[in-house]
Amino acid sequence: MSTPQDNPDGQNGGPAWNPPGSGSSGQNPYPQQDPPRYGQQDDGGQYGHQAAQPSGYAYPTSGASGLAEKGPAPKEVDRAYYLILAAGVVYLLSSVISLLTTEVPDMAGAAVGVGIGLVVSVIIAALYVVLAVFIRKGRNWARITATVLAALNVLGVLATVLLTPMLTAAAESTGQAVAETSALSVVFSVLVMLLGVAGVVLTYLKPARPYFAPQKFGY
């Protein structure tokens, strides 16, 4: 008579149970499958997860995140830049020469007035430089500002050239003293005007006009 100890494959003398298809070896007929690895395709044809991107991968961003960059400045804009810069340099030079050559009366506050005039001249020359830089960058507001200043400069120079002789003659007829404007100062004023106007006109030429158009959002 056999006992459970004598038959370890079964209990109570019965045969040992094996799953169907296991054979005599007793192996599992349903082998365990590993789950799909990260980024690999599974048996169903679907991707489990997105694969990790290699280092240095540039993730796409929305094209509307910023303004579209302007291209290189046309040659007309470059020329306008240098002309307006030259106008500022000549203006500062003429102002310094005028302040140094003008006779200062020996009275309190005269030197302070010369210093204030020099500071104002430096500020105006710096304004020329700022407008030239932003015109080269294609900023339309800088072009409009330069246009207004150039028009005011033209009016000022015309008033100086045309009205000064008339005012001088009228003052001499009445015996009043009038401050004389040196020929060198007039020449410098005309030169500054011509340089500024030429620079502004270049920005309105057909090749330069699209460069000052409002920037559009990229897509």
What residues are paired with 41 via a beta bridge? 47
Give me the pLDDT at residue 133, please. Answer: 96
Angle between helix 183-203 and 75-101 (nearest 10) = 160
Mean pLDDT, rounded, for 29-53: 50
Q: What CA–CA distance (Å, rounded) separates 91 from 121?
A: 8
Alpha helices in the chain (DSSP H): 75-101, 110-136, 140-174, 183-203
- On the question of pLDDT at 41 being above 60, the answer is no
pLDDT confidence tier of residue 54, bands split at 50, 70 and 90: very low
Mean pLDDT, rounded, for 147-153: 95
Does residue 141 contact residue 214 with C-beta atoms inside 8 Å? no
- On the question of pLDDT at 45 being above 90, the answer is no
Quick check: is 217 in a domain?
A: no
Quick check: is 54 in a domain?
A: no
Quick check: is 119 in a domain?
A: yes
Quick check: is 186 in a domain?
A: yes
Mean pLDDT, rounded, for 171-186: 67
What the block records as the tokens of 197 is 């106007």
Quick check: is 31 in a domain?
A: no
Q: Which helix (H) or strand (E) holds 179?
A: none
* Number of structural domains in the chain: 1
- Which of helix, strand or coil describes residue 217? strand
The mean predicted confidence, pLDDT, of the chain is: 74
Q: What CA–CA distance (Å, rounded) separates 216 from 120?
A: 38
Q: What CA–CA distance (Å, rounded) separates 95 from 102?
A: 11
- On the question of pLDDT at 39 being above 50, the answer is no
Give me the pLDDT at residue 102, please. Answer: 74
Quick check: is 63 in a domain?
A: no
pLDDT confidence tier of residue 4, bands split at 50, 70 and 90: very low
- On the question of pLDDT at 47 being above 80, the answer is no
Quick check: is 153 in a domain?
A: yes
Mean pLDDT, rounded, for 158-166: 82
Give me the pLDDT at residue 61, please. Answer: 42
Does residue 208 contact residue 70 with C-beta atoms inside 8 Å? no
- Print the domain residue range for 143: 75-212
Quick check: is 15 in a domain?
A: no
* pLDDT, tens digit (0-9, with 9 covering 90-100), for 8-36: 444 454 555 555 544 444 555 555 555 55
Mean pLDDT, rounded, for 156-174: 77
Give me the pLDDT at residue 113, please. Answer: 76
CA distances from 100 to 108, 164, 186, 190, 193 (A): 18, 22, 16, 20, 22
pLDDT confidence tier of residue 98, bands split at 50, 70 and 90: confident
DSSP conformation class of 214 = P
